[in-house]
Chain A
Amino acid sequence: MGIKEIQDDIVDEFSMFEDWMQRYEYMIELGKSLPLINEQYKTDDNIIKGCQSKVWVHAELDQDKLVFTADSDAIITKGIIAILIRVFSNQKPQDIIDANTDFIDEIGLKEHLSPTRANGLVSMVKQLKLYAVAYQTQLN
């Protein structure tokens, strides 16, 4: 599935929730189901700056697609990154670079998370895109 289709799916899923508690419970569930990053990649080099809680992201190329794994010490943050990984992992680097991220606004993540977390969210997206740029250069 392409990035846009996955984003549309997520927007649909979130539109079913009636209040913040349901959104949060869903994100907490997502956080718990996030496939764990290999411990060897939980290094200081892989920590995303700008997040109040710690977030580690590792990227590797699987043929022409970029695969992300990640972890966080805070569960709601893990939920957010699980959503981002669902959107951006297993995609071609160029598609990741070109993707827009309006869906974050549409599912109310920006609005429903505190500003400091929203900043973390921005940093996360930026970091995933930076990886894509780096690997795209490799592919060229």
Chain B
Amino acid sequence: MVRTSFDVKAYRDDFPILKREVNNNPLVYFDNAATSQTPKQVIETIVDYYSNYNANIHRGVHSLSQEATDKYEDARIKLQHHFNAANAHEIIFTSGTTHSINLVANGFTSLITKGDEIIVSAMEHHSNIVPWQMLCERTHAVLKVIPMNQEGELLMDEYHKLLTDRTKLVFCNHVSNALGTVNPIKKIIDAAHNVGAAVLIDGAQAAPHLKADVQSLDVDFYTASAHKMCGPTGVGILYGKEEWLNKLPPYQGGGEMIAEVTFEKTTYAELPHKFEAGTPNICGGIAFGSALDYMNGIGFENIAAYENELLEYGTAELLKIDGLRIYGTAKEKTSVISFNIDGVHPYDIGSILDKLGIAVRTGHHCAQPIMDFYKIPGTVRASFSFYNTVEEIDQLVEGVKKAKAMLQ
């Protein structure tokens, strides 16, 4: 049972959406790994922005523009401190993790030659596979894959064998979206650096649960998305070490990213603006900062401890259901439970749970190679956040039992 004195009720009151009903049942929201819900503090930030200081940034001399610029740059500093980056200009605002990854993959086109090698893990989201395949097609580089075991843990011995002096980049998620595995990224980073390769870590699934320190990790690039961390959709960050960001060419051309433009030649702006062409998601960036304030106010250690109790409780209760199998049983994982029931298609379970007001994700979770590995069409994925409760998990378990009775 849950033992901590975590005041979940108080936090739930911050989330207006948790009060609504779905299909005549109170909403039970267990699709947090896809998108987290938004507390009123963040919603108020968004309303405040559009009500009081909506303006374009970095270019106006007028007061509103200055105010918006200050708030946007404040958010960047909050992100810098949160991830412990050495410099604020190492935080690039993007539209989210997919954009961040494409920015790096595109930039590496000019740094990679035929026969160079890129390593990715076997438990990647499609957005973490396709950009590298495209990069390999452009450059004739070779894509290698770190295999995993049945528990959903990377085989580190195999990883070490893949590393060569041709390895230019290693890419891995910090936490798997489909399985919840927390990968040993420090070991992955150190081994890659030993052969001179750069490392990009996708923190989209990790950042809502744990605080990454990019300097102590010595990671070259790290990404996160606001919408999985109580912030709005359409905004995220790329952290990059200054030396790497200076090496990469700009990704998109446009306003904001230039120093001087003539028809003969354009010189690019300094970091971070070199990578931030066009008018950014100003409100989104500011709201991302507000979401970080909110989560840090609760404390990531408290969040992780509570979510871990939900995970343990949910795992134990779901496993009591006959014929239920959990995919992803790594020793270290976040509050994600991916499961199936013998002889039942995950979509059928998801449909019935939806009728009961319980939101889960079903399908391949944009990670088809993992589903192929387990030889299944997909899973039902329940992912818990700090605003979920033990009672909601009980409802999920009852719902799964009901679905099983109807479907088998």
Minimum distance in angstroms from B292 CB to a CB of chain A: 32
Minimum distance in angstroms from A26 CB to a CB of chain B: 11
Does B363 count as interface, using CB distance less than 8 angstroms? yes
Known A25-B406, A73-B345; judge A117-B377 contact (CB<8 A): no
Instruction: Chain B residues near A112: list those with CB within 8 A.
Output: 355
The answer to whether B347 touches A24 (Cβ under 8 A) is no
> Chain B 262-281 against A: per-residue CB contact (8 Å), 1 yes, 0 no?
00000000000000000000
The answer to whether A76 touches B363 (Cβ under 8 A) is no
Minimum distance in angstroms from A90 CB to a CB of chain B: 28
Minimum distance in angstroms from A75 CB to a CB of chain B: 5
A20 to B407, CA, bound (A): 14
The answer to whether A75 touches B345 (Cβ under 8 A) is yes
Contact check: which of B350, B377, B406 meets A24 at CB < 8 Å? B406
The answer to whether A74 touches B347 (Cβ under 8 A) is yes
Minimum distance in angstroms from A6 CB to a CB of chain B: 25
- Count of B interface residues, CB-CB < 8 Å: 15
Instruction: Chain B residues near A52: list those with CB within 8 A.
Output: 347, 362-363
A24 to B406, CA, bound (A): 9
Known A28-B407, A114-B354; judge A76-B348 contact (CB<8 A): yes
Known A54-B377, A73-B377, A75-B407; judge A24-B345 contact (CB<8 A): no
Known A20-B23, A24-B406, A28-B407; judge A53-B355 contact (CB<8 A): no
Contact check: which of B345, B351, B363, B406 meets A113 at CB < 8 Å? B351
Contact check: which of A20, A21, A28, A76 meets B347 at CB < 8 Å? A76
Does A89 count as interface, using CB distance less than 8 angstroms? no
Minimum distance in angstroms from B209 CB to a CB of chain A: 27
The answer to whether A20 touches B355 (Cβ under 8 A) is yes
Most chain A Cβ neighbours within 10 Å, of B344, B354, B407:
B407
A20 to B24, CA, bound (A): 11
Does A91 count as interface, using CB distance less than 8 angstroms? no
Does B330 count as interface, using CB distance less than 8 angstroms? no
Residues 310-359 of B at the A interface (beta carbon under 8 Å) = 344-345, 347-348, 350-352, 354-355
The answer to whether B363 touches A24 (Cβ under 8 A) is no
Chain B interface mostly helix, strand, loop or mixed? helix
The answer to whether B348 touches A74 (Cβ under 8 A) is yes
A75 to B362, CA, bound (A): 15
A75 to B354, CA, bound (A): 16
Minimum distance in angstroms from B29 CB to a CB of chain A: 15
Does A77 count as interface, using CB distance less than 8 angstroms? yes
> Chain A 71-89 against B: per-residue CB contact (8 Å), 1 yes, 0 no?
0011111000000000000
Contact check: which of B345, B406, B407 meets A53 at CB < 8 Å? B345
A77 to B354, CA, bound (A): 15
Minimum distance in angstroms from B264 CB to a CB of chain A: 49
Instruction: Chain B residues near A73: list those with CB within 8 A.
Output: 345, 377
Minimum distance in angstroms from A44 CB to a CB of chain B: 14
Minimum distance in angstroms from A38 CB to a CB of chain B: 21
Instruction: Chain B residues near A76: list those with CB within 8 A.
Output: 347-348, 351
Known A28-B407, A75-B407; judge A53-B354 contact (CB<8 A): no
Minimum distance in angstroms from B242 CB to a CB of chain A: 43
Residues 39-72 of A at the B interface (beta carbon under 8 Å) = 52-54
Instruction: Chain B residues near A25: list those with CB within 8 A.
Output: 406
Most chain A Cβ neighbours within 10 Å, of B345, B352, B363, B406:
B345
Minimum distance in angstroms from B371 CB to a CB of chain A: 13
The answer to whether B352 touches A53 (Cβ under 8 A) is no
Most chain A Cβ neighbours within 10 Å, of B344, B352, B355, B362:
B355
The answer to whether A75 touches B377 (Cβ under 8 A) is no
A114 to B407, CA, bound (A): 17
Most chain A Cβ neighbours within 10 Å, of B344, B347, B406, B407:
B347
Interface residues in chain B, defined as those with a beta carbon under 8 Å from any beta carbon in chain A: 23, 344-345, 347-348, 350-352, 354-355, 362-363, 377, 406-407
For the A-B complex with A21-B406, A24-B406, A76-B348 known, give 4 more contacts whose Cβ atoms are closer than 8 Å. A28-B407, A53-B377, A74-B345, A76-B347
* A-B pairs, 7 with minimum CB distance: A74-B345, A74-B347, A53-B347, A76-B348, A74-B348, A20-B355, A75-B348
Interface residues in chain A, defined as those with a beta carbon under 8 Å from any beta carbon in chain B: 20-21, 24-25, 28, 52-54, 73-77, 112-114, 117
Write 16 A-B pairs (CB below 8 A) sorted by A numbering.
Answer: A24-B355, A25-B406, A28-B407, A52-B362, A73-B345, A73-B377, A74-B345, A74-B348, A76-B348, A76-B351, A77-B347, A112-B355, A114-B350, A114-B351, A114-B354, A117-B347
